[in-house]
Amino acid sequence: MAGLVNQAELNPALLPLEWLMGTWESDGPGEGCFPTIKPFRYTETLHFSHVGQPIINFMFNAFHAESKKPMHRECGFIRMQPGTNKVAFIIAQNSGLVEIEEGEVIGQQINLQTHALARISFAKKPHVQQILRAFQLRPDGKLEQTVSMATDNQPLTQHLHITYRPSS
């Protein structure tokens, strides 16, 4: 039902990620670059929610900063290995890439790296081969994300950097 507020308590397995929950809006445009593309600026909304299970649901929506046209979309799930600081993101992207990133939660920081990648048979080349992703809640209450990637023909290089503020 639209407008229904989630009344479920956060599953105890997710307590290390409680700081991530809610909606985040870009705090000014983020910057994207890669050796094979023209640099760009983008805005993005992140939404992290739960229904009481030991899983966080997420949706990321990016828009071109100048034209406002939709760009990248990602959705998926976040799981923690109970009793540890190990975390996994299961991500489906609108580009046809599906990935599993695994890593650790250390305080209010998440560091992830590619564990598995799959793509649709007609995905645009060059193909992504590796992704590193980091989230950090800064002391000023803003969330920062950095994404690096490697493709068939480019080594691991920073691709995205953006800072978010909590949505009001």
Express each pLDDT in 46-60 by its tens digit.
999 999 999 999 999
* Backbone phi, psi, residue 34, to 5°: -170, 150
Express each pLDDT in 105-136 by its tens digit.
999 999 999 999 999 999 989 999 999 999 99
Residue 82: burial class (beta carbons within 10 Å; 0-12, 13-18, 19+)? exposed
In this prediction, residue 7 carries a pLDDT of 75
> Taking the domains of the chain in order of start, what are their residue ranges?
12-166
Q: State which residues of the chain have pLDDT below 50.
A: 1-4
At 164, list the tokens: 């978010």
**CB–CB of 27/42 below 8 Å?**
no
Q: Would you tell me which CATH number, out of the four given (3.30.365.10, 3.40.1110.10, 2.40.128.20, 3.90.1150.10), belongs to the domain 12-166? A: 2.40.128.20
Cα 124 from Cα 30, distance rounded (Å)? 24
Cα 34-48-145 angle, rounded to 5 deg: 30
Cα 30 from Cα 44, distance rounded (Å)? 8
